[in-house]
Every structure is written in structure tokens, then in C-alpha cells.
Amino acid sequence: MAKKPQRLKKELGLLNVFMIATGTTLSAGFFLLPGIAFESAGPAITLAYIIAAIPLIPAMLSIVELSTAMPRAGGAYYFLDRSLGPMVGTIGGIGTWLALMLKTAFALIGMGAYVQLFFPEIPARPIAFGFAILFGLVNLAGSKGAGVFQTVLVTVLLVILGIFISGGSMNLDYSHFGNYLGMGGDNILATAGLVYISYVGVTNVASVSEEIKNPERNLPLGVFMALSFAIVVYVLGTIVMVGVVPAAELQHNYTPVATAADKIFGPWGKVMVTIAAVFAFSSVANAGILSASRYPLAMSRDHLLPAAFRKLSKNGMPIIGIAATVAIILFILLLDAKKIAKLASAFQLLMFGFLCLAVIVMRESNLDSYDPGYKSPLYPWMQIFGILSAIWLISQMGVWPILFAFGLIFVSLWWYRFYAHEKMVRDGAVFHIFERLGRRRDEGLDGELRGILKEKGLRDADPFDDIVARAHVIEAEEVDAFESICKQASKWLGEKIALPPDGVMSGFMEGTRVGATPVAYGAALPHIRLHGMEHPEIVICRLKKGIIIERYDPFGNKEPDELVYAIFFLASPEEDPGQHLRILAQIAGRIDDDDFMKQWQDAHSEQELKETLLRDERYVSLHLREGSTGSELIDHPISDLVLPEGCLVALIRRQEFTFVPRSDATLKNHDRLTIIGDPEGINELYRKYHPEHL
């Protein structure tokens, strides 16, 4: 049996996402760049920071959509590879990896500059070298530890920034804003391209999306919160710096926040913001290494880099990726700070343009398994604007950043041609668009996305437990052929959804003939999508002696026979393919569990059969007996029960019969209830009726 690929642990929650995104945003762009940017934009640096955020919005929305559809390590690389193909993925992977390391090095240079304020005898670069190695070691401890470290750093940072901005707002010299646009529009736009790097950290959290719990909720919410907060802090913070520090002192100042704090609060203020700066640079360096090290891991999984990068430590960290990332950062630290900022911004802009294009490709590929939890609004105009604005901003940054971006593309293409090309056996989603035009497609991508759906699981709005509770159950001692059991299931479904049973049956049979019916571990999942249905329905079949289902692959070749004891006929509305696939993936995932088939065969009733499919955290069984837990419910109608919000009695087993109760049904002694609901409510019922199971 093929060994499953190692997956990173899901240890990051909403707070971690916000802290990582915020920490990688509020660092060098706030504590170091304003002094450099003031040289070319003057007091209009506040406007430059606002302009710089505008082209980020389409990229941010696109990255969030791609991340919720494909939560995998490698972020931009993975999205570009799976949408535009491995050649563009190689460019995105190598380029974004380097851009992240450039940004991290820029933060470490800023940290050295601030530490030098109090230890001028120590050169800045050795300080940066030491911190780079320190944060590499922190990341080796695991993403959870790095996430906790990040939360502590950013919390202290935000408190100090609040003090700085509130204190500075009362000490502004408005004459400093005279001749606001005096440096000219071209310089302001070029400065916007320079400070663009300040915001890109907000999207870098996508590279750790594989490690985020409930990414469909936590990733969009955390990113949106972080960007909104960052824009407010940058605008207010730069207003304070310009309004407090004279132009001659602010221009080309590598510690502008410390200079401003010294004028506002005196020496203790300088100490305070230096601490904040060190924390900010620490957070971006820590999160930068965390994010960057996932790119070589993801590329190695796809054979674009050597297999050594796939190696994980005992606690699940990409040890070679972290070591290589730190080593390259140490080399980058020898470069000039302003050049680092421009080079990183230029390539990041190029990548963001590609990512906007990736959303267009994924949407137009018509893959049912492309199922993002968040969809970017104003499609495709938002993405088109993102592509054009990125190209325009790059054009304003000067010749060297442009040459660097194209040089990096050339190096990436050379690497792909001479190292990775022969190892590739797949293409991107772009070929599904070609398939619509009568050309070629990559079947492997659809299968990979279906695997991701299985890992992501159901959404809160998916009515899976309700569907299982009301499912029709067929118990069969002996069945001579699949057609006969399919006919019974189709008859019930046809009556339920007011469609001809023959049409329903032909859909199931055709899916089995063309290889669309998954069969594994003694179970089969025939499935169809039908026009006119309001909600999904399932028919559950248990075959005591099992049957053989003749099935074929998509090329018409007969597949090996397998004895099947469980069949789940799923019919869903044609209009919602994503939900159909999520339900199918949930059932398949349960079948994969080692204990499923034993529980299935040992079930003594229809109720117990259904409970083998229900999610453990979303249901509780309660046996009513006089003198035992729950006896107070006997002889009361269901409408009188006080259940936690979101919970309901889905099934009652009474004597030999299982039924879905009405609200006026009265509970009897020896009834066995199946209650379904949200995890919080079910946990409350466990505490009340089954505390021994907690």
C-alpha cells in the first residue's frame, strides 16, 4: 500500500491567523520604511501608504478564495501550480520564497538599527544574523509554539502602538504637512510601489493554510481583520511621524518611530517604541521564516525540488526548508536595505497579478471539486483590476526591480526545464479550460481537489446529519444483483423527490458503468445530481451477505471485483455540486475509518446504522429508563423538552420500530433517542446525561 504523504498538523486558530498576518504587516513598513519613503514622497507618504493598499485588495481576495478551496502548505506556489501549471508554479514558488526571505531580511535589518540606538558599539548586521538563527530555532519547535510566540509578540506591539498613536495625535505640528503634494505624482506613485511590501505580509499566512483549523472561516476572517487594522495603523502612524518630526530629521531616518517617540514622550518613549520595534521585527521574522519554509516543502512534494525538502522533524516541521530559508536570509542581510524593499515589492506584485489570474482560471475550468469557502466579489473585474494595477505599479518602480523580477523568472524557468520538467506527470486547471475548447485536461487535479474536500470536511451549513436522520434504510439478507437493490433505492428516491424512478435508476447505473461510483473497504457510493431537487437525500442499504458490483474505469476497463456490504445512494440538487461532493467526501471519510465496517455489521437497528454515519461530536444517544439518567423526560411531548439551541430529537427507537418523531410525539419508557445538533449543544447534553464519557 502506498504510503500517505505527511501532512502538517492543524494547530492554528483565528487568533493565530490574525496575529501572524498582523505581525508580518506591522514591522519594517512601519518602523523602518517611513523615513526612506519620506525622501521621495515628502509628507504625502500617508497618501502613498493608502495607494499601496489598493492593488493589494484584489490579490488578497483572490488569495483568500484560493486558500479556502485548497488549504495546502506553499500558498502562492501551490495555487499557481494547480491553476496555471507546474512551470508557472515553479516561478511562483521560487519567487515567492525569495520575496518572503527578502522581506524577513529587511525586518532583521530594521531590528538591528533599533537595537543599535542603545548599543551603538555593536554593528547592526551581526545583530540581525543572531536573530535570524534564533527565529529559525523557534520555528523548529513547531507551528503551535511559533503561533503562541507570535501572539505574545504582537499583543505587546499593539499596546505600545496604541500609546504612540494616541500620544502623538495630541502633539502634531500641522505646518509639517504644507506643500503636501510638492514631490509630484510620479514620486508618490513610485513610493507607493516601494511601501507596498508593508502590506504583503497580510496574505503570507496563506502559506500555512494547511495548518489552520477550520480554514474556510478562520483564514478569511483573520486576513480581513489584519488588513483593515494595518491600514488604520499605517495611516495614523505616518501622520504622527510627519506631524512630529521635522522633515530634515525624518528624511532617510532608519528609526523614524523612535525619533518621533523621543519628541512626544522623551527618553522613556524612545525606549518604549524601541521595545515595540524589536517585537514587531521579531514577529515578522518569526512569521516570515514560518511562511517561507513551507514553499520548498510544497515544491518538493511535487518533485520541483529535491526530496530532502519533504523531510519533517519529529514534531512535524519541515526541518530542511527552515534551515535553507535561514541560510539564504543570512546571505541577503549583506545587501542594501532600500534595494531589498524594492526587489521584494516588485516580485510580490508580479505574483499577486498571477494569483488574480489563477482565480479566473480556476473559476473558468468548471471543476466541481473547486469549492472555496469564500468567493471573491465582483468577479472577474476585481481580478482584472488586480492584474493591471500590479503591472502598472511595477512600471513605476524603476529599471532594477523590473530586471530583478524578469531575472528571477528566467532562473525559475531554467530550473524547471533542466530539473523538474521530466518529473512532471500533471498539468494545471488551465487545461480544463482547453478541454472546454476541445483540447486537453488534467484528470489528476480534479482527484486532488476531491481529496482536499475530504480533508476539509463539511461546512456548518451542510445538512448532513439531517439527511442521514431522514434517510431511507434497506436491509437485505440476499440480493442477486446490484440492479435489484438500485431499483428499490430509486423507487423511494423517485417518490421522495417527485421524479420518475427509472430516470433516477439510469443515473446511478450509468455512473457505475463509467467508473464514477467509488467502491472501497466493502462499501459503494453511487451518486447523482438531479435538476429540480430542493435538498440532498440518501438511501442506506445494508447487505448481510454482500454482493459484487461490476464496475469499470473511465476508459471502459473492468476493475477488480470487491464484495460490498454497504451501499449509500446519494442524490443532490444539480445546482450545488460543491455540497454534493462534500457530503460524498464525508461518507467516504467515515468508510475509511478502521472501525466503520465492524460497527456497520454489528448495528442492531436502523437507528444504530444511521449512527455509524453521524459525526461523533454532533449527536448523542439517550436511552430512557425509569430511575436512570434522562428518566425525567418520560411521558413528556418533544415540544416540552428544553434542549440546547440547535439541537433536536432526530430519531426514536421504540420496541422494534425506528421513526423520525413529530414535535407532539410523547416520549415513552425504554425509548432510545438520537439527538443531533451543534458540537457545543451536544457537548452540553453529554455533560448532563453522559458525564462518564467526557
**Whether residue 608 has pLDDT greater than 70:** yes
Cell, residue 260: 518621533
- pLDDT mean over 573-588: 84
According to CATH, the topology of domain 616-693 is: Alpha-Beta Plaits (3.30.70)
Residues of the chain with CATH 3.40.930.10: 457-611
pLDDT bracket for residue 463 (50, 70, 90): confident
Task: For residue 248, count other CB atoms closer than 10 A to its CB.
Answer: 7
Mean pLDDT of 675-688: 89
Instruction: Reply yes or no on whether the pLDDT at 439 is more than 70.
Output: no
Report residue 433's pLDDT band, with 50, 70 and 90 as the boundaries.
very low
C-alpha cell at 325: 530559508
| pLDDT for residue 440 is more than 70 | no
pLDDT at site 566 = 92
CATH 3.30.70.1450 positions along the chain are 616-693
Kind plus residue range of the DSSP H or E element containing 474: strand 472-476
| Lookup: cell for 222 | 483573520
Whose CA is closest to 201, among 29, 4, 66, 42?
29
The Cα–Cα gap between 399 and 407 comes to 12
- Whole-angstrom Cα Rg for the chain: 29
pTM equals 0.67
Q: What is the DSSP string of 557-593?
A: PBPPP-EEEEEEEEEEETT-HHHHHHHHHHHHHHHHS
Q: What percent of the chain has pLDDT over 70?
A: 86
The grid coordinates listed for 109 are 535589518
pLDDT value of position 7 = 53
Q: Say what percent of the chain tops pLDDT 90.
A: 15
Give the model confidence (pLDDT) of 195-227 as tens digits: 877 777 676 677 667 777 777 888 888 888 888
Containing 546, the helix (H) or strand (E) segment is strand 537-548
Res 243 pLDDT > 90: yes
Q: Please state, in angstroms and rounded to a whole number, the distance separating the CA atoms of residues 539 and 561.
A: 23
Which position has the higher pLDDT, 384 or 154? 384
Q: Which residue has the higher pLDDT, 203 or 492?
A: 492
Does CATH place domain 457-611 in 1.10.3210.10?
A: no
Task: Over range 35-44, report the average pLDDT.
Answer: 88
Superfamily of domain 26-423 in CATH is Amino acid/polyamine transporter I (1.20.1740.10)
Tally of CA atoms within 13 A in the half-sphere of 24 that contains its CB: 34
Cis upstream peptide for 380 (omega within 30°): yes
Q: How many CA atoms lie within 13 A of 565 on its CB side?
A: 14
The winner for highest mean pLDDT among 180-194, 277-291, 544-558, 645-659 is 645-659
Distance (Å, rounded) from C-alpha 212 to C-alpha 400? Answer: 37
pLDDT of residue 11: 65
Please state the three-class secondary structure of 364-398 as a single string. HCCCCCCCCCCCCCCCCHHHHHHHHHHHHHHHCCC
Whether the Cβ atoms of residue 618 and residue 590 lie closer than 8 Å to each other: no
Start-end of CATH 1.20.1740.10 domains in the chain: 26-423
Residue closest to 259 by CA, chosen among 243, 236, 282? 243
